[in-house]
């Protein structure tokens, strides 16, 4: 499939800022897990997956700035499910909606390079605008994805603070008085330093759960200084509130992308109602983050 919206003149950070200025900060999730697909009256098979995904694309494309498909829910159906995901990515990007592929890839050496080429490369079948990645083999293990994303005008969202309780055992751990999470934030900040000099938002973002409570303050993380987008899953049905966003992100709020899937997708399967719910949710968060 041909390259669609990436140009040599724009970075992911620049395009993201333009998209959120136009449509608001919502990152709408496409999470076709069994319970949600069946709640729409669809069968949990490739046909149901296809109808679910096409409905989301019709509702969101050109009306929401950023959409985040969860790769696992497509991979469960094998190559046919991945084909549905690829078609969705292309359709969304053709409509001018940015796509963050939530695949959380992380490895070393040639394997990480292959993951980067698969999702971010110029010859990828259906490249996303950005990819989520796991740095827990070391931040520099992501170097192939970071470098390729920079070359192709794409972004990488690096897991920093997740809301699952067991995440603390790794992310809060310290070495020479520096927590793992702090080292990840510092790594992203270094990648975004050049963008800061031009007054632009960087293209290396962080994933920070909306329900991590006081962890950012406890660990002394400078999220605003990172100068990258901050993907905040857990808003809405997963319990994250406006108060949580304020408490967690503080002066970094203008760079936050609140991510909501179930709260928005519960309005389906009607396309118009689904679109209206996404727009309302985005407008709500836009008012909060101003």
Condensed to tens digits (0 to 9), the pLDDT of residues 73-89 reads 999 999 999 999 999 99
Separation between Cα atoms, residue 202 and residue 200, nearest integer Å: 6
**Looking up tokens 């938002």, which residue turns up?**
201
pLDDT recorded at residue 2: 38
Q: Is the pLDDT of residue 217 over 50?
A: yes
Q: Which residue has the higher pLDDT, 7 or 245?
A: 245
Within the chain, strands assigned E span 27-30, 66-69, 98-105, 130-133, 155-161, 174-175, 178-179, 204-208, 230-232, 256-260
By CB atoms closer than 10 A (0-12, 13-18, 19+), residue 251 is exposed
Separation between Cα atoms, residue 188 and residue 275, nearest integer Å: 33
Residue 68 falls in the annotated catalytic set: no
pLDDT recorded at residue 67: 98
CA terminus-to-terminus distance, the chain: 38
Q: Is the pLDDT of residue 219 over 60?
A: yes
* Average pLDDT of span 264-277: 96
Average pLDDT, the chain: 93
* DSSP character at residue 139: G
* Average pLDDT of span 39-61: 98
pLDDT recorded at residue 130: 98
Q: Is the pLDDT of residue 231 over 80?
A: yes
* pLDDT tens string 185-205: 999 999 999 999 999 999 999
3-state secondary structure of 150: helix
Name residue 100's beta-bridge partners: 130
Q: Is the pLDDT of residue 287 over 90?
A: no
Confidence of residue 4 (pLDDT cuts 50, 70, 90): very low
pLDDT recorded at residue 246: 86
In the chain, domain spans: 12-289
Separation between Cα atoms, residue 46 and residue 49, nearest integer Å: 5
Query: How far apart, in Å, are the Cα atoms of 67 and each of 62, 99, 215?
Result: 11, 5, 27
* Average pLDDT of span 242-269: 91
Confidence of residue 9 (pLDDT cuts 50, 70, 90): low
**Does domain 12-289 correspond to CATH entry 3.40.50.1370?**
no
Query: How far apart, in Å, are the Cα atoms of 204 and each of 50, 230, 276?
Result: 31, 9, 30
> What are the DSSP calls for 84-115, one per residue?
HHHHHHHHHHHTT-EEEEEEEE---HHHHHHH
Confidence of residue 289 (pLDDT cuts 50, 70, 90): low
Confidence of residue 97 (pLDDT cuts 50, 70, 90): very high
Confidence of residue 238 (pLDDT cuts 50, 70, 90): low
pLDDT recorded at residue 58: 98
Q: Is the pLDDT of residue 245 over 90?
A: no
* pLDDT tens string 156-178: 999 999 988 899 999 999 989 99
The CB-side HSE value for 72 (13 A sphere, CA atoms) comes to 9
Q: In Å, how far from its chain's centre is CA 1?
A: 22
Confidence of residue 239 (pLDDT cuts 50, 70, 90): low
Query: How far apart, in Å, are the Cα atoms of 39 and each of 13, 58, 139, 265, 268?
Result: 36, 19, 39, 10, 9
Residues 15, 21, 25, 26, CA torsion sign: negative
Q: Are 63 and 275 in contact (CB under 8 A)?
A: yes
The catalytic residue among 17, 33, 87, 104 is 104
């Amino acid at each position: 499939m041909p390259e669609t919206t990436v140009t040599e003149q724009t970075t992911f950070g620049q395009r993201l800022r333009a998209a959120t200025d136009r449509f608001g900060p919502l990152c709408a999730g496409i999470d076709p897990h069994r319970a949600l697909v069946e709640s729409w009256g669809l069968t949990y098979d490739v046909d149901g997956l296809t109808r679910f995904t096409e409905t989301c694309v019709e509702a969101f494309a050109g009306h929401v700035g950023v959409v985040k498909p969860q790769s696992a829910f497509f991979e469960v159906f094998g190559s046919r499910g991945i084909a549905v995901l690829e078609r969705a990515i292309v359709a969304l990007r053709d409509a001018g909606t940015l796509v963050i592929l939530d695949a959380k890839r992380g490895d070393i050496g040639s394997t990480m390079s292959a993951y980067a080429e698969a999702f971010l490369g110029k010859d990828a079948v259906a490249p996303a605008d950005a990819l989520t990645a796991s740095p827990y083999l070391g931040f520099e293990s992501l170097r192939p994805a970071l470098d390729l994303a920079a070359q192709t005008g794409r972004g990488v969202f690096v897991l920093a603070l997740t809301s699952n309780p067991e995440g603390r055992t790794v992310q809060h751990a310290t070495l020479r008085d520096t927590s793992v999470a702090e080292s990840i934030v510092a790594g992203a900040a270094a990648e975004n330093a050049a963008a800061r000099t031009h007054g632009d938002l960087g293209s290396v973002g962080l994933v920070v759960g909306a329900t991590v409570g006081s962890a950012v303050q406890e660990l002394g993380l400078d999220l605003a200084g990172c100068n990258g987008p901050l993907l905040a899953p857990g808003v809405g049905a997963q319990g994250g509130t406006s108060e949580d966003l304020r408490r967690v992100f503080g002066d970094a709020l203008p760079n936050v992308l609140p991510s909501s899937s179930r709260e928005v997708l519960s309005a389906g399967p009607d396309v118009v109602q689904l679109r209206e719910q996404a727009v309302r949710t985005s407008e709500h968060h836009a008012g909060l983050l101003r």
